[in-house]
Chains A and B, each alone.
Chain A
Amino acid sequence: AQKITQTQPGMFVQEKEAVTLDCTYDTSDQSYGLFWYKQPSSGEMIFLIYQGSYDEQNATEGRYSLNFQKARKSANLVISASQLGDSAMYFCAMRGWYAGGTSYGKLTFGQGTILTVHP
């Protein structure tokens, strides 16, 4: 079984500052992937960044980076230079690969964190 925990229901950040959104996970899978999605008020789910459990480097995508600490089972999202358009709900999610190599994609989501960027 997999579990994702996002302990921050809401976060506030000043425009142009950096913010970290927390995500911890629990899984018995040997191999797994961690994702972050953004859901603005318009409702769509936007993929931001991915980290594989065997990736040695932390993932980065533009202003997004993932602070992956495998021993602590955490995969925090760091947004640098926050913009007003970053105000949204952010979801951490994970999937595992079963013995044999495939899992057909089931994503387990955390509860989400609402980020508000102040001007």
Chain B
Amino acid sequence: DTAVSQTPKYLVTQMGNDKSIKCEQNLGHDTMYWYKQDSKKFLKIMFSYNNKELIINETVPNRFSPKSPDKAHLNLHINSLELGDSAVYFCASSQEGRGQYNEQFFGPGTRLTVL
């Protein structure tokens, strides 16, 4: 009965490879997010999807391509991995609405290490 789940939890790969991270939420939320936490623990939003529509794209290299097949899933595909992509990637979800308090629920994170 996990609310927001991510797979895999750890991902170790070589530079230049392509990899994907999957995220699923069973909260019935309409909005999902990808955040990146760097080695200094700084968290920054990458993407936001509302009802499968891309809403926020924060100047992320186009090697990163999110895909939302339905409201409950948001995947992140990364092409041509670079050393600087090493980070923890968090998926989150929330139910958005006008003027509402909208807590974001975070997944456990995926630690990506690029060698």
With A43-B88, A97-B99 already in contact, the answer to whether A104 and B56 are too (CB < 8 A) is: yes
Interface string of B17-37 (1 = CB under 8 A from A): 000000000000001010100
How many residue pairs link A and B with beta carbons under 8 A? The number is 68
Q: How many residues of A contact B (CB 8 A)?
A: 26
**Which residue on A lies nearest to B98, using beta carbons?**
A101
Given A104-B96, A105-B102, 15 additional A-B pairs, CB 8 A: A33-B101, A37-B106, A43-B108, A43-B109, A45-B92, A45-B109, A47-B103, A97-B98, A97-B99, A104-B48, A105-B94, A106-B56, A107-B35, A107-B104, A109-B44
Task: Give 30 CB contacts A-B under 8 Å.
Answer: A31-B99, A33-B101, A35-B104, A43-B108, A45-B90, A45-B92, A45-B106, A47-B104, A47-B105, A47-B106, A50-B103, A91-B43, A95-B102, A97-B98, A97-B99, A102-B98, A104-B50, A104-B55, A104-B56, A104-B96, A105-B33, A105-B102, A105-B104, A106-B45, A107-B33, A107-B43, A107-B104, A108-B45, A109-B42, A112-B41
